[in-house]
Amino acid sequence: MIILLISVFAGDYQNLISDAQNFAISGVSSSIPNSPFDNPGFSSFFIKNYLGIDYGYIFGGFSNVLTFKGTINNGKEGFGFLYFNQIIPGIPDTRNALVDLNGNGELDEGEYIDTSKIIFKDAFQNIFLFNVSKKAGSFFYGVNIKIFYENLMGERGIGGGVDFGIIYNLNNLTLGLNLRDFTSSIIIWEDTRDRINPSIVIGSSYKIVKNDFKFMPCFDLVNDEYGFSSLFGVYFSYKNILEILSGMKKDAISFGSGLYLKGFRFHYGLMLQYKEDFPLTHRITLSKCFNKE
């Protein structure tokens, strides 16, 4: 659990900020973005003004995440924001609970943990993202400015970073490129620093429309500090009202559905990571569009 906690607070938030629609197609997002975080070119590419909220029940309840997001588009430029909050409740702090008879700082034979001295603390992570993007023909490009504020069992960290992204759209083909933390984001703690190394996401989607039905295969190729990975998804839509989604990546499969009604969009996504100790993650998104395409 502690390894998972450290992973989450050392930059793995990249996998936690996900719209339920993208989550249901294994996280594919560079060419099918639903927020500026997915691709900084999103706010000029998505020709609607909207507000959205995402909720995630992560790692079987190990943590809960909440995201608020929105964009404003005037036809040539776009502006966006995103606020992400993650809470990991009830982490046991046993640092002062060890009955250390020999003073070596380790739990040896004959020693024990005094449960009355265990303190339960919460950890949380906040990210504030501000976005601006522009349209140039079939290209949409933008920049994100990110501010991090984190609290890990009482120790506070603050930092920031920059993302850059491009979307290219030609008829039914869309290409996406997202350079996250391309200046190497830094989080400064009281006694140390964390560096979030740059990562690159390249992807594509192709829309096939026949009568009232739409089918869209999509993929992302990701190169980050964990190595190279690939994400694949498929998307079925009927009358732009009902969606069925599925995806796969290494050691995981995902499923989901979506519903569009009177300007509202609701999506649910489920991912099964069958080699993890906490295999199930649920995600829900609700958003409202304020102008028509």
Mean pLDDT of 146-163: 89
Does residue 97 carry a pLDDT above 90? no
Q: Please provide the average confidence, as pLDDT, over all residues in the chain.
A: 86
Of 76-85, 141-150, 278-287, the range with the lowest mean pLDDT is: 278-287
Find the helix or strand (DSSP H, E) in which 71 lies: strand 63-73
Angle, CA of 44, 46 and 52, to the nearest 5°:
115
Query: Of 142 and 16, which is predicted with more confidence?
Result: 142
CB 237 within 8 A of CB 213: yes
User: Given the structure tokens 């499969």, which residue do they identify?
Assistant: 253
Which pLDDT does position 61 carry in this prediction? Answer: 63
Does residue 101 carry a pLDDT above 90? no
Cα(141)–Cα(73) distance, integer angstroms: 13
Which pLDDT does position 65 carry in this prediction? Answer: 86
User: Given the structure tokens 């060419």, which residue do they identify?
Assistant: 31
Cα(20)–Cα(104) distance, integer angstroms: 48
Of 70-84, 102-116, 125-139, the range with the lowest mean pLDDT is: 102-116
Reported pTM: 0.84
The residue type found at 24 is A
Query: Of 83 and 277, which is predicted with more confidence?
Result: 83
Does residue 111 carry a pLDDT above 80? no
Which residue pairs from 88-92 have beta carbons closer than 8 angstroms and sit at least 24 positions apart in sequence? 88/5, 88/8, 88/62, 88/63, 88/122, 88/123, 88/124, 89/63, 89/64, 89/122, 90/120, 90/121, 90/122, 91/5, 91/120, 91/121, 91/122, 91/123, 91/153, 92/118, 92/119, 92/120
The residue type found at 74 is N
Query: Of 31 and 292, which is predicted with more confidence?
Result: 31
Mean pLDDT of 212-222: 96
Confidence of residue 293 (pLDDT cuts 50, 70, 90): very low
DSSP 8-state code for residue 15: G
Query: Of 63 and 142, which is predicted with more confidence?
Result: 142
Mean pLDDT of 252-266: 92
Query: Of 46 and 237, which is predicted with more confidence?
Result: 237
User: Given the structure tokens 């069925």, which residue do they identify?
Assistant: 244
Domain regions of the chain by residue span: 2-289
pLDDT in tens, 164-209: 999 999 999 999 999 999 888 888 988 888 888 999 999 999 999 9
CATH superfamily membership of 2-289: Outer membrane protein transport protein (OMPP1/FadL/TodX) (2.40.160.60)
